[in-house]
């Protein structure tokens, strides 16, 4: 599904959209610096950089709502790091 709301540099809009999704798993694509801001809002661990073509996977505890620092980093991959 393509959502026009995601084509923004406003991290608050993206976080609000994520909070209202009915799915438990979602993958979104975007650009920095907004995605670093989103990752730092959601992750309990600070994210300094998301490389070009980087993939950051965040995981939420099943019992927690999607809120500030409610997720942990499951993995982070980027060109040069390998799998």
pLDDT digits (tens, 9 = 90+) for 12-71: 888 888 888 777 777 888 778 888 999 999 999 999 999 988 999 998 877 678 889 999
The verdict on residue 60 lying in a domain is yes
The total number of structural domains in the chain stands at: 1
Residue 83 pLDDT exceeds 60: no
Return the closest-CA partner of residue 51 out of 10, 21, 81, 28: 81
- Position 82 confidence tier, pLDDT thresholds 50, 70, 90: low
Q: Give the per-residue pLDDT at 43.
A: 93
Q: Please state whether the predicted TM-score (pTM) of the whole model is above 0.95.
A: no
- pLDDT the model gives residue 63: 66
Residue 82 lies in a domain: no
Question: What are the phi and psi torsion angles at 12 (to 5°)?
Answer: -65, -40
Q: Which residue has the tokens 């950051």?
A: 56
* β-bridge mates for residue 71, sequence order: 43, 60
Identify the pLDDT of residue 75: 93
58 Rama class: left (phi>0) / alpha (psi -120 to 50) / beta: beta
* Domain coverage including residue 32: 4-77
Contact 45, 32 (CB under 8 A): no
Q: Does residue 22 lie within any of the structural domains?
A: yes
């Amino acid at each position: 599904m393509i959502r026009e709301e995601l084509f923004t540099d406003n991290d608050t809009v993206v976080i609000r959209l994520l909070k209202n999704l009915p799915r438990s798993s979602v993958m979104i694509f975007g650009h920095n610096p907004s995605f670093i801001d989103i990752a730092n809002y959601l992750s309990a661990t600070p994210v300094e950089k998301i490389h070009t073509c980087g993939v950051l996977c965040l995981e939420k505890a099943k019992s927690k709502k999607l809120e500030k620092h409610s997720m942990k980093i499951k993995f982070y991959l980027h060109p040069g790091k390998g799998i």
